[in-house]
Structure 1
Amino acid sequence: MFDLDFQHVRRAFGRAAPGYAAVAVLQREVEKRLLEHLDYVTTPPQRILDIGCGPGFASAALKARWPRAQVIALDLALPMLRQAGKQAGWWRPRFSRICADARALPLAPGSIDLVFSNLCMQWIPDLPALLTQWRQVLAPGGFLACSTFGPDTLHELRAAFAQVDETPHVNGFAPIQALGDGLMSAGFRDPVLDTDHFTLTYASATGLMRELRAIGAGNAASARRRSLTGKARMAAVIEAYDAFRQPDGRLPATWEVIYAHAFAPEPGQPLRSGGLDVAAVPLSRIPIRRRSH
C-alpha cells in the first residue's frame, strides 16, 4: 500500500457526504453482507462502535438490531456525521456520533463490546497498529466485524494509468494475508476471512472516475500527481482502458472485497502471535461471487 494523505481523505469524504448515499450502491451491498457476520454474536452487546460510519446506515441497523445497546458512530469527516444524524433523528433509533480518527480512538480500553467497520480499513496502511488499537478498545470476548478492499480492486483502472506514467493514480490495497496476519498479531482469536468479487460496468472510463470522486474514493496516495491530468494524458488513459471493453460495449471495474470477523480474547486466554496461514482459515463460508451491476 502507498502512504496516504489523511487530510486529503478527510476533505474528499467531506465533499462527498451530501450525495454519498445516492451513489454508494456497492458500499451498501457490502455493508449488508458484513451485517450478516453479526449472527455469530450470541450475547447482546451493550456498547457498539461503528468505525468509518459514513452516512450512518449501519449504525442505524445496529441500533435497530440491539435497541438497548449504546451505539457510537465514528467518522473522520464531520459532514459525514451530519448526514448520519439524519439516520438518528427523533423518529429513528438514536445513536451517538463522534468525529475522530480510526487510528486514534478516543475511547477507554475494554469499553466496547462490538466493533463494526465497513470499508474503512483500506484508508489506513498500518493494519497491525490499527487492529491492535481496535482490540484494545474491545472488552474481553468482544467481537470485531470488518471489511476492506483487496489488491484486485480497480486493477483495470490501475493498468490503464500504468500505460501513461509511473505515478500512482489508484490507491494500493492490502491482500487477505495481511489482514489475517494483522488480526493474529493483534491478539484476536478465531478469525474467519471471506472474499467477494464484484464487477460493476460503465459506459466510459470517465463515468467510473466521476463515481469514484462522488463517493470520496479518489486517489489519496501521498505520491500522487498534484496537478490536473492533462487532456492528452487522460485521452491516453481512456484509450488504454478501452482494451477491457466487454462484448456488450460496457467497461468493467473489479472490486475485491475482504470480510473478516474475530473475537477479543477472554480473560486467561493467551494471545496468539506469529503469522496466519490463510489457507487454514475457512474462506468458503461466503462463496466468492462475481456480479455485474
Structure 2
Amino acid sequence: MHYSTPERNDRNLSEMTISPYKKRVEEAFSQAASTYEDRAKLQQTIASSLLTLLQSELKSTPRTILEIGCGPGNFTRLLAQQYPKSKIEAIDLSPQMIEVAKEKSQDFSNIEYRIADGEDSLASKFVPFDLIVSGNTFQWFEDLDAAFQNYQTLLTEEGKLFYSTFGPRTMFELSEVRKALKIQPWKIPANSFFNDGQHQTLLDQAFSNTKINTWSTKLTFSTLLELLRYLKSTGTQGSTHRGLLTPSRIHMMEELYRERFGKIELTYEVYFCRAW
C-alpha cells in the first residue's frame, strides 16, 4: 500500500461543497443528533460487535485510527477505551453530531473530532493510518468504489479497514407496504443499499484480502407510528414530501403491515466487512 499526505484543510460545513443528496443526509442526522444516542440501541449493539471483531482479528494495537461517520461518538469512545494509546481522528458530515460527540468525549484526550465528508480526500496530520473503521455509514455514500480506493492510500503497509453497513433487505417490510399502497415518491433508503456481493467486488478492487460476515435481526414496534418516529429519531426515515403520510394513510399502512407480517417489525441486514 502507498499513502500520500495532502495538505490538510479544516473547513466548516458551510465551506464544503456537497451534493443535494449529501445535504439531505446531513440534515436528517443533524436533526436526530439530540435523540440518536438514546434511540439507536441497534447501532450500539452493532458497534459492540464491530469492536469485538477488532479485538479478535487485530494482532497489534493501532497507533493511528480514522473513524468515518462517528455520529455522536458512541463507537469512538469504545475505541478510545480499548486503545487508550492510539490517536483517533473521528469525522462526521453533521456539525450537530460532532458537537454532541465532543461534549460526551471530554474525558478522552486521544480523540480529535472534525467535520468532514468521508468521501473527500481526508487530508490529516495522522496519515498514514493503521486502522480505518466505520459503523453504518458507507450505505449513504455516493461513490463507494472511489472511497475504498482512497482509503487504501491512507493506510500503512499493514493497515486494515473494518466496517459495518446495512444491506438491501434492511426495512424490506416497510418497502413492501409502501409499494403495495403505491406511496410515491417516498424512498426507503435501503432500496439502494449494496448487497454483500457488491461490497465484495468493490473491496476486491482496492484490497488484496477481504472478509464479509452477514447478520440479521428484527426490531418490533407496537404501532406503525412508533416505527416511523423511531426512524426519524435515528435519522433514517428516508425522503418524503410533507403531508405524504397522512393519519389515514398511516392507518392503511398499519393494517396492511399486520396483514402481511403479523406484527409491526423491521428487519435489519448487517454486513461486517474487513479488508487489508
TM-score, normalising length from structure 2? 0.85
The reply on whether 1:170 has 2:167 as its aligned counterpart is: no
The 1:93–1:65 alpha-carbon spacing in structure 2 relative to 1, beyond 3 Å, is farther
Aligned length in residues: 252
Rounded Cα–Cα distance in structure 2 between residues aligned with 1:214 and 1:237: 20
Do the aligned partners of 1:244 and 1:251 also contact (CA within 8 Å) in 2? Answer: no
The reply on whether 1:259 has 2:272 as its aligned counterpart is: yes
- Partner residue in 2 for 1:198: 217
1:50-65 matched pairs, under 5 angstroms: 50-65=67-82
1:1-293 matched pairs, under 5 angstroms: 5-38=21-54, 39-89=56-106, 91-107=107-123, 111-165=128-182, 166-171=184-189, 172=191, 173-186=193-206, 188-220=207-239, 225-229=240-244, 230-246=246-262, 250-263=263-276
How much does 1:4 deviate?
7.7
How much does 1:167 deviate?
3.1
Do the aligned partners of 1:52 and 1:102 also contact (CA within 8 Å) in 2? Answer: yes
- Partner residue in 2 for 1:269: none
Deviates further, 144-153 or 165-174: 165-174
How much does 1:245 deviate?
4.3
Do the aligned partners of 2:216 and 2:267 also contact (CA within 8 Å) in 1? Answer: yes
Rounded Cα–Cα distance in structure 2 between residues aligned with 1:48 and 1:202: 37
How much does 1:231 deviate?
3.9
TM-score, normalising length from structure 1? 0.81
Structure 2 gaps of 5+ residues are: 1-18
Letter in 2 for 1:215: T
Q: Percent identity?
A: 27
- Partner residue in 2 for 1:267: none
Structure 1 gaps of 5+ residues are: 264-293
Larger helix share, 1 or 2 = 2
Do the aligned partners of 1:155 and 1:254 also contact (CA within 8 Å) in 2? Answer: yes
Deviates further, 8-17 or 164-173: 164-173
- Partner residue in 1 for 2:13: none
How much does 1:168 deviate?
4.3
Rounded Cα–Cα distance in structure 1 between residues aligned with 2:43 and 2:224: 20
How much does 1:94 deviate?
3.7
How much does 1:93 deviate?
4.5
The 1:203–1:4 alpha-carbon spacing in structure 2 relative to 1, beyond 3 Å, is farther
**Matched residue SS, 1:104:** coil
